[in-house]
Amino acid sequence: MRLKILLLIVIVSGTFVLAQNQSRNVITLSDNWKFTKGDVQGAEKADFVTKGWQTVSVPHDWAIYGPFDKEVDKQTVRIVQNQEKEATEKTGRTGSLPHIGVGWYRTTFDLPELEKGKKVLLQFDGAMSNARVFVNGNEVGCRPYGYSYFYFDISQHLVPGKNTLAVRLENPGKASRWYPGAGIYRKVQLIVKDEVCFQHWGTFVTTPYVDGGVAKVNIKSKVNGKDLSIKTIIKDAAGKIIAEKVSSERYGDEVEQNIAVKNPELWSPDTPVLYSVEMQLYQNNELKDVQVIPFGIRTISYGPDKGFELNGKTTKFKGVCLHHDLGPLGAAVNIAALKRQLTILKDMGCNAIRSAHNMPSHEQLELCDEMGFLFLAESFDEWAKPKVKNGYNLYFNEWAEKDVINLVRATRNHPCIVMWSSGNEVPDQHGSIGVKRAKWLQDIFHREDPTRPVTVGMDQVNAVMKSGFGAIMDIPGLNYRVHLYEEAYERFPQGFLLGSETASTVSSRGVYKFPVEIAKGKQYADGQCSSYDFEYCSWSNLPDDDFVLQDDKDWVIGEFVWTGFDYLGEPTPYDTYWPSRSSYFGICDLAGLPKDRYYLYRSRWNTKEETLHILPHWNWEGREGETTPVFVYTSYSKAELFINGKSQGIQSKSDESKQHRYRLMWMDVKYEPGTVKVVAYDKDGNPAAEKEIKTAGKPHHLELVADREMIKADGNDLSFVTVSVVDEDGNICPTASHQLSFKVSGKGTYRAACNGDATSLEMFHMPTMKAFSGKLVVLVQSQKEAGDIKLKVSAKGLQSEEIVIKSL
């Protein structure tokens, strides 16, 4: 047998050389793209000259560089989902960033003359939106949905040597309910392989039987060609071969294999163990194609009484919803930013992610596989009935099935995915037509993947109980409407419910309002929300309302909180207030800094580590003697509060109210400067932990803390540096708002900054920004050369500070 090179990944600035006898070749087209905003006649032609165009790298989001402008996508609209009675002018609904319009991208790549029997696929992970793709001046295809993965066979349009790829994108106004981003915001790849091959996204790996000492790995592979055989090698996490099989039995275009793995290590959030399957395709003993697919061995099931079971154990979803933008990076995918988000959530005790309301990036799914997160992969925010004039409703009838097929086939081998969602709060929930659409979509998911259930985020609960819409879903997902949970449980046949979207509590990091009271839709002159976590929206509720259902009802199988992080756009309750251009829903702010609410969730979800958190801050000049309630979020059930050494009494969690059940609250504390101390007691009444905060003095200097002090010298990796304004003793100054300046030198560049203030109009990419509630975050990016990177942060009247990041 003549052996060939099995797999080669080449990333060389748009150039790749196809070595003789290679079975497959993959190139990521990342560098040296040319970009311009605005429609340009003839830009698709191969000989077009890009004079004056920007040079950019992909992934790229053209709109994140701003500026913020209240006139961008200003909409006069009644948001039905928010139970609004009349239309009002919304200025920040889609982030007030210039995402509307046409953008052109062009790049070139070198390719030798294709050998007979070879073909080339061009794959996009996401392009926003209405993509038209041209190769050497020929239009090879289009895709309207900006969140969809898609690919084209471009073999017939290629020439030996230099080839030109051009992409036209167009974002209309009134097409989104949040900031969609703009541009080629996910990766682009070329795949060169034999015409005798594994079909693209045509292999499905499942583990339908796991019992004690053995697991059955089922592999279904769709192939092109005749007289084929497949050699399959399964490797463990260390790369050791643990099973092999050769198969040639074929039915139609599919080869199915069942392979035993002895003593399997099961994938779960606590043990995210990954195996890999290497598949070699032979035609008459000649190697034609190779693919390597990571997978996990695990079982899932849903049902009455047991709820959701992972590997035979009842598991509740402790989940958050995430929009696709990465704050100051916009929609452009970045692995370091995604991993930072997941690391922060993991520490909170979160075990699940819902990609709301769009198809997730491959990078996010890969990280969830590796780090251990359950995943609810969502597809659409609209079906045929519109929420916004130019939304997906324009494309649903023609494209929905194609988009679902690509979603499932491209991602179904990820063990993290345990559920699909075919939609979110779609207006189609009403009436028989909506029921038929829901059934049609669910059947497509089932056809493409019979192993996972399907849900829809339903907010029109009375309507879906009446129409039968909720009864046909595999998983009845309720968005809010906690007052209808009991009735829905009684009326739906499934025997369980999922909180597919919960809470929508609003807060601004480090901002506290008085008097402290539970309030719905409250607004203040500064455009901020109180971080006492007592404020919510007209349609939503407080976290404690969901906690009770999660804890007391076995038939509630978990929740996905809206949202894990703030996101650009949808600045409820300030969507008619300017300036306000990002959300207040996040458990963490837009910079990724935890709000107080983070510790409320952590006190319930992180069962392995203690939580003890005090709020508010203790700098209230002018409030001396006034009532200033103190809350403590803790994993302990009892604690004692001291103000300047004087006990304010012991509080215990109780059933007095939903809030008393999950929070310790001293409502009558009078403010006096000094020290706030809390001592938590264990179940035997012994002191177990303590924490204190102090009234800070005058701002004196800066403190810099990096999330990672060593990063990769790949030109994409990031270190997130938290900058705090502190007094002479190192206490954070919680009301500081100094204008800070940033300078990066050495083997790195300044990428962006973010302070988490939803009303800030400062641009993320400029090397200066005000601190908000005493903090902000600076993003430092590596270059493609190793060495030290130095970040210097300075501000008028403060001692400057430096930090060194190593790039390896």
Q: What phi, psi does 116 have (nearest 5°)?
A: -60, 135
Instruction: State how far the Cα of 478 lies from the Cα of 381, in Å rounded to an integer.
Output: 15
Instruction: State how far the Cα of 287 lies from the Cα of 282, in Å rounded to an integer.
Output: 4
Write the burial class of residue 101 (CB in 10 Å: 0-12 exposed, 13-18 middle, 19+ buried).
Answer: middle
Instruction: State how far the Cα of 234 lies from the Cα of 515, in Å rounded to an integer.
Output: 62
Cis upstream peptide for 59 (omega within 30°): yes
CB atoms within 10 A of CB 239: 7
Q: In sequence order, what DSSP letters do the residues of 569-631 get, joined into one string?
A: S--TT-TTSSS--B-S--SB-TTS-B-HHHHHHHHHH--SS--EEEES-S--TT-TTSB--EE
In this structure, the strands spanning 454-458 and 417-424 are: parallel
Write the burial class of residue 241 (CB in 10 Å: 0-12 exposed, 13-18 middle, 19+ buried).
Answer: exposed
* E strands, 112-196, in order: 118-124, 131-135, 138-143, 150-153, 161-171, 188-194
Beta-carbon contacts of 416 under 8 Å, excluding residues fewer than 6 positions away, are 296, 365, 368, 369, 372, 373, 374, 375
Give yes or no for a contact between 583 and 758, defined as CB atoms under 8 angstroms apart: yes
Residues 298-315, buried b or exposed e (16+ Cβ, 10 A)? bbbebeeeebbebeeeeb
> Is the sign of the CA dihedral 539, 543, 547, 548 positive or negative?
negative
CB atoms within 10 A of CB 443: 11
Instruction: State how far the Cα of 243 lies from the Cα of 264, in Å rounded to an integer.
Output: 12
Instruction: State how far the Cα of 283 lies from the Cα of 248, in Å rounded to an integer.
Output: 10
Instruction: State how far the Cα of 332 lies from the Cα of 340, in Å rounded to an integer.
Output: 15
- Cα 380–Cα 386–Cα 387 angle in degrees, nearest 5: 80
Instruction: State how far the Cα of 723 lies from the Cα of 800, in Å rounded to an integer.
Output: 11
**Active-site residue list:** 425, 501
